[in-house]
Amino acid sequence: MTTAPAAGHRVVMIPGDGIGPEVSEAARRVVDASGCSIEWEIHEAGAAVAERLGTPLPEEVVEAIRRTGVALKGPVTTPVGHGFRSVNVTLRQKLELYAAVRPVRSLPGVPSRYENVDLVVVRENTEGLYAGLEHEVVPGVVESLKVVTEAASLRIARFAFELARKQGRGRVTVVHKANIMKLSDGLFLDCARRVAAEYPEVACDDLIIDNCAMQLVRAPERFDVLLLENLYGDIISDLCAGLVGGLGVVPGSNLGDRCAVFEAVHGSAPDLAGRRLANPTALILSASEMLRHLGEDAAADRVVAAVEAALADPAHRTRDLGGSATLDEYTEAVLRALRNG
């Protein structure tokens, strides 16, 4: 663990692995230049830690976030089909980070097929199929349990409607498959409708997930707040990222009543790791969400403005956005825009 000199807010940083350390360093430099004073507490998690300590998520990391209440996290690789349980999922469950929020909006200067996209994905973050409750019944037969509770469904629905109210958004669309999963998704939908009745100023409608995917690709500008259970939220978040330029530009937060962990929607992008070609925008914008959460709205606005200024010049865009800038060239452009702003 390394600690920076004394400053304003204390924030845990988990650099992660793959492209995580590169994009985390870029985000940290931008936050440090934003005029907000942060004391970073750096903690490691993931496969390298598991080799040393026998667990990919040491309890001291969870404790550090409980203590500070806030973390900025780079992506952490999860082995496919075997190996340790996802650090990301474990962290969300241990800290009761029940709401994943992904604001998805068209950024000026980012080439994409659509304009005027401005929606928010609100994903239930603690249960559903994503909890990974699986077992082998007999060889060749496995079961995966989808647990949906009334308490968690009411909690996330209330979160989504409160967000709509606070942000002046007019509609929450509940996304489900209650025609097939009549009990589990039926409960989720029913809870959302009950909560909707308490928010007469916010319209509420619902869509079956497959239809929702199609409608999003046809006319994403028609959507406002999307409320989804865990697995659907995971998949639709990536789809929505694709509407506005890809995973390199969409930020995220995992919020609970006591703690908040800010991280991009994207993963560790092993294909780009160590090459300094990844786009750090998503984590930089996640950091701006973190600044807002800390009450540092002016610094958050400065970061967003600097990102938009840097992206406005095609020479600064990274490869995922059709440009040829490296992570470092782009980050320097954001830092210059911050200094000149």
Do β-strands 9-14 and 70-73 pair in parallel, antiparallel, or remain unpaired? parallel
The DSSP code for 325 is: B
Do β-strands 141-145 and 9-14 pair in parallel, antiparallel, or remain unpaired? unpaired
Active site residue 94: no
Token pair for 200? 């007469």
- Which of 226, 282, 309, 311 is the binder for ligand NAI (CB under 6 A)? 282
Cβ(176)–Cβ(209) under 8 Å? yes
Site string for ligand NAI, 126-165 (x = CB under 6 A): ----------------------------------------
Question: With CB under 6 A, what is the number of residues at the site for ligand NAI?
Answer: 21
Can you tell me which residue has the tokens 């109210």? Answer: 165
- Which of 266, 302, 316, 317 is the binder for ligand NAI (CB under 6 A)? 266
The DSSP code for 171 is: E
CB of residue 8 to ligand NAI, shortest distance in Å: 26
Establish if 263 lies at the interface with ligand NAI (CB under 6 A).
Answer: yes
Residue type, 215: Q
CA-to-CA distance for 318 and 27, rounded, in angstroms? 15
Active site residue 190: no
- Which of 21, 109, 256, 267 is the binder for ligand NAI (CB under 6 A)? 267
Concatenated DSSP letters of 38-84: EEEEE---SHHHHHHHS-SS-HHHHHHHHHHSEEEE------SSSSS
Say what angle helices 281-293 and 297-312 make with each other, to 10 degrees. 160
User: Looking only at residues 51 through 90 of this chain, which bind ligand NAI when binding is defined by CB under 6 A?
Assistant: 75-78, 88
Active site residue 130: yes
Site string for ligand NAI, 299-328 (x = CB under 6 A): ---------------------x--------
Active site residue 185: no
| Site residues for ligand NAI per CB under 6 A | 19, 23, 75-78, 88, 247-248, 263, 266-272, 278-279, 282, 320
Catalytic residues: 130, 177, 210, 234
